[in-house]
Amino acid sequence: MSIFNERELKIVAYGERTIIFNTYQEYDTQLIGIAKDIRFINGTRLETMFNALYNINRGNVKQWFYLLHEYKMLTLNERAAVRWLMIILPKGCSIDRAIELAPRVGIYQGSELEYVKHFVNDTFHVETKLGCLDKYFDYDAYTFDLVRDKAISKVTYEGDVFTITNANEFNVWGI
């Protein structure tokens, strides 16, 4: 199933008559000025998740289709970053700003503890240089400190856990 299959996308416009459309061009040629209400009915999993972040309505149809296209171009990690920027980040940000910032978000696919183990071993080569001494490194305490200091953060997207590795940069910006 392709994420670009427009046949699955169904958006209904209510007005004098009910019409189902799936592209902005259809809306622009047939429904502009006629539709009194617009609702997302069905779509791929990706389209449904996007609509949950940015609900379509009469005032944002053109922008919704444009941002949907931009959202589809993002990688899985970048889409997880968009979710984090909009929902998890304390002040959140708009969908268009989140899509713009997504490539700048450091993201690791795995839990916070898995990230810390990867980071420490990759950076300091604890396992290879120190042999069995890595068993004495307190990964849980280091993870706790990074989470407490808001240096890393966790987001779940499509059932997978991701760790934001530069969360403090965005918390400082106050996005």
Q: What is the mean pLDDT of the chain?
A: 85
| Predicted TM-score of the model (pTM) | 0.81
What confidence tens digit (pLDDT) does each residue in 41-58 have?
888 888 988 989 899 988
Model pLDDT, residue 174: 55
Please check whether residue 97 is in contact with residue 123, taking contact to mean a CB–CB distance below 8 angstroms.
Answer: no
State the Cα–Cα distance between residues 42 and 12, nearest whole angstrom: 9
Three-state DSSP at 109 gives strand
